[in-house]
Amino acid sequence: MPLNRRKFLEKSAVTGAGVALAGAVGAPAAQAAEAKKGQKPARRYSLTVMGTTDLHGNIFNWDYFKDTEYSDAKGNAKGLARVSTLVNQVRAEKGRRNTLLIDAGDTIQGTPLTYYYAKVDPITAEGGPVHPMAAAMNAIGYDAVALGNHEFNYGIETLRKFEDQCHFPLLGANALDAKTLKPAFPPYFIKKFCPPGLPPVKVAVLGLTNPGIAIWDKAYVEGKLVFPGLEEQAAKWVPKLRSMGADVVVVSAHSGSSGTSSYGDQLPYIENSSALVAQQVPGIDAILVGHAHTEIAELLVTNEETGKTVVLSEPLCYAQRLTLFDFELVFSKGRWTVESVKATVRDSKTVADDPKITKLLKDDHDIVVEYVNQVVGTATETLTTVEARYKDAPIIDLITKVQEDVVKAALASTEYASLPVIAQASPFSRTSEIPAGEVTIRDLSSLYVYDNTLVAKLLTGAQLKAYLEYSAEYFVQTAADVTVDVEKLTNANGRPDYNYDYVSGLSYEIDIAQVAGSRIKNVTYNGAALDDAQQFVFAVNNYRANGGGAFPYVASATELWAESTEIRTRIAEWVTAKGVLDPSEFASVDWKLTRDGTPVF
């Protein structure tokens, strides 16, 4: 959808759109030890910046895919209802007017709850509902939220409607209008604290999002928005914030701290660059880190120019943790100076849901629970992903079969109708299960947890071999005489499960005794050795088609067709049309792990 020109100009004119000044009366900090005789005691102030990230639509401690309370092996709890209780505790301890609450993005995608209000009963409809995440975060009292990459998954219209419903700004200093190169969202937010008897303290929050949006949501943002690097934009905006009188500068960055990128060299900007921002850009006191879905209570990074320490913290995703940045400031020589910063995290499992949030959003939650429990068919046997990352599992073949059928139908009347269609799919979940008997929407949703859509690309046999070799790097090299431990067999070099692909329609072996790059053996199509020159239609999800995971050839390959309907929806439609989910209609053994030619399993 095109950006609303008038609205865009209002939001991005000069820098004023990024400023929100809120007067507050705060209690003074406890004074330091007795001042030396004849000297006035130092004037001090303590304030706390709280932060969450990667909420992904989690309001309650509920697993919509299992239709029960959420639980994991570590006993974690999740949801904004729990975070609200933690926030209330901190505000009671510190004084509400001495606190700020921010988030580092990925808010409106990730659960059936967020899908429902984006697609089934969309907030963009005439007289549509208020997004549950907007309602919850408004009620909790968030001050500012950085844009995450998943904010763009449903298109700009949905994002703008969500923005309208929020009582806080969505920040994105490096989300620029493609034509004017001016910020399309407020770059920053400033709050003024006014401790009694002391000069005011200005706290600036700079919001930065992920450059990977240009790849991952290319269909929505190409030609409309551009996303330059975090380091570059922080270097531009931090001095401006300081010149505007900011005493404290906090960056809310939807970017991990590892310095790595999943998209290789497809973009000149680093995906996970928070630590680099801290290292390279002077004038930052703390960074709330997002995107990586890891927990970092406190990470200290030395700025290479000033030698000062920048404090980073990443609370665990899904509202499982709340970060606290505790600032101690001292007023001297006419200005406030940050004397110290300490980061800690608080755990959602230690508290109960805030009844205010429960009451506010129970109806929305109940509607979605009813929706996901709709029966759409029956399964003749139980299908599971438990072994899917190292064995060819029928449940993943279901995904590739659906994708093949959809693409074949779409291309039936085109010049590509005679080409063979093959498909990729990843073992997203290790716990998904479609039970024998009644099959519900939630069963199928748990199989495909992302809101990916389908794309058809044109690839050759040689390109597919290279694709398979790259995918096979997921396995840890394991000698033929070593006992195989399946818990240590995968995720080599930290590669996540979603960046390992099955490829249907071909038959091949993955020899894990060999070094990466030399593992794919005996590739055949229709019983014959794969012809390097043969052309195939490759049915892939949009994340992969746009370069997600940096798989070779696919991003640059000719695109034959694409759609906006989620693959998850296509699976539900396929099962509904069949009525019966029978593995004999889709299951096949396309690949197996070997060591020096001998099957591993």
**Range ranked top by mean pLDDT from 4-8, 70-74, 299-303:** 299-303
What number is the average pLDDT over the span 504-523? 98
Q: Is the pLDDT of residue 448 over 60?
A: yes
**pTM for the predicted model, two decimal places:** 0.84
Q: Is the pLDDT of residue 28 over 80?
A: no
What number is the average pLDDT over the span 9-14? 36
| Exposure class string for 544-573: b at 16+ Cβ within 10 A, else e | bbbbbbbbbbbbebeebbebeebbbbbbbe
What number is the average pLDDT over the span 391-409? 97
Residue among 288, 281, 295 nearest 208 (CA): 288
Q: Is the pLDDT of residue 413 over 50?
A: yes
Q: Which helix (H) or strand (E) holds 394?
A: helix 394-411
Q: Is the pLDDT of residue 208 over 60?
A: yes
* Torsion angle of C-alpha atoms 86, 80, 84, 77, degrees rounded to 10: -30
What number is the average pLDDT over the span 321-340? 96
The token pair that represents 362 in the structure block? 């129970």
What number is the average pLDDT over the span 495-524? 97
Q: Is the pLDDT of residue 143 over 50?
A: yes
The token pair that represents 595 in the structure block? 């060591």
Residue 374's CB is within 10 A of a number of other CB atoms, namely 12
> Please, which pLDDT band fits residue 14 given cuts at 50, 70 and 90?
very low
Number of residues that this document lists for the chain: 601
What number is the average pLDDT over the span 299-327? 98
What number is the average pLDDT over the span 474-488? 96
Q: Which helix (H) or strand (E) holds 294?
A: none
Per-residue pLDDT, 35: 44
> Please, which pLDDT band fits residue 16 given cuts at 50, 70 and 90?
very low
**SS3 (DSSP) at 42:** coil
Q: Is the pLDDT of residue 12 over 80?
A: no
Beta-strand (E) ranges in 138-222?
Answer: 144-146, 170-171, 176-177, 188-193, 201-208
> Please, which pLDDT band fits residue 453 given cuts at 50, 70 and 90?
very high
Integer CA distances (angstroms), 539 to 88, 405, 592, in order: 48, 10, 21
What number is the average pLDDT over the span 242-253? 98
Cα 113 to Cα 116: distance, rounded to the nearest angstrom: 5
Per-residue pLDDT, 572: 94
Main-chain dihedrals φ then ψ at residue 55, nearest 5 degrees: -65, -35
Per-residue pLDDT, 23: 34
Structure confidence by residue, pLDDT tens digits, 532-580? 999 999 999 999 999 999 999 999 999 999 887 899 999 999 999 999 9
| Single-letter amino acid, residue 396 | I
Per-residue pLDDT, 262: 86
What number is the average pLDDT over the span 190-200? 95
* Torsion angle of C-alpha atoms 111, 114, 116, 122, degrees rounded to 10: -160
Per-residue pLDDT, 38: 53
> Please, which pLDDT band fits residue 30 given cuts at 50, 70 and 90?
very low
Cα 30 to Cα 45: distance, rounded to the nearest angstrom: 8
Helices 156-165/132-140 angle, 10° precision: 30
Per-residue pLDDT, 564: 79
Structure confidence by residue, pLDDT tens digits, 219-229? 899 999 999 99
Structure confidence by residue, pLDDT tens digits, 340-359? 999 999 999 999 999 999 99
Cα 205 to Cα 189: distance, rounded to the nearest angstrom: 5
Structure confidence by residue, pLDDT tens digits, 482-507? 999 999 999 999 999 999 999 999 99
Residue among 317, 314, 210, 212 nearest 262 (CA): 212
Cα end-to-end span (Å), the chain: 49
Exposure of 560 in the CB half-sphere (CA atoms within 13 A): 24
Q: Is the pLDDT of residue 36 over 80?
A: no
Cα 80 to Cα 82: distance, rounded to the nearest angstrom: 5
Tokens 């005996």 appear where? 522
What number is the average pLDDT over the span 387-406? 97
Cα 317 to Cα 59: distance, rounded to the nearest angstrom: 12
What number is the average pLDDT over the span 113-120? 95
* Torsion angle of C-alpha atoms 349, 78, 83, 22, degrees rounded to 10: 150
Q: Is the pLDDT of residue 33 over 90?
A: no
Beta carbons of 213 and 253 less than 8 angstroms apart: no
User: What is the pLDDT of the chain when averaged over all its residues?
Assistant: 93
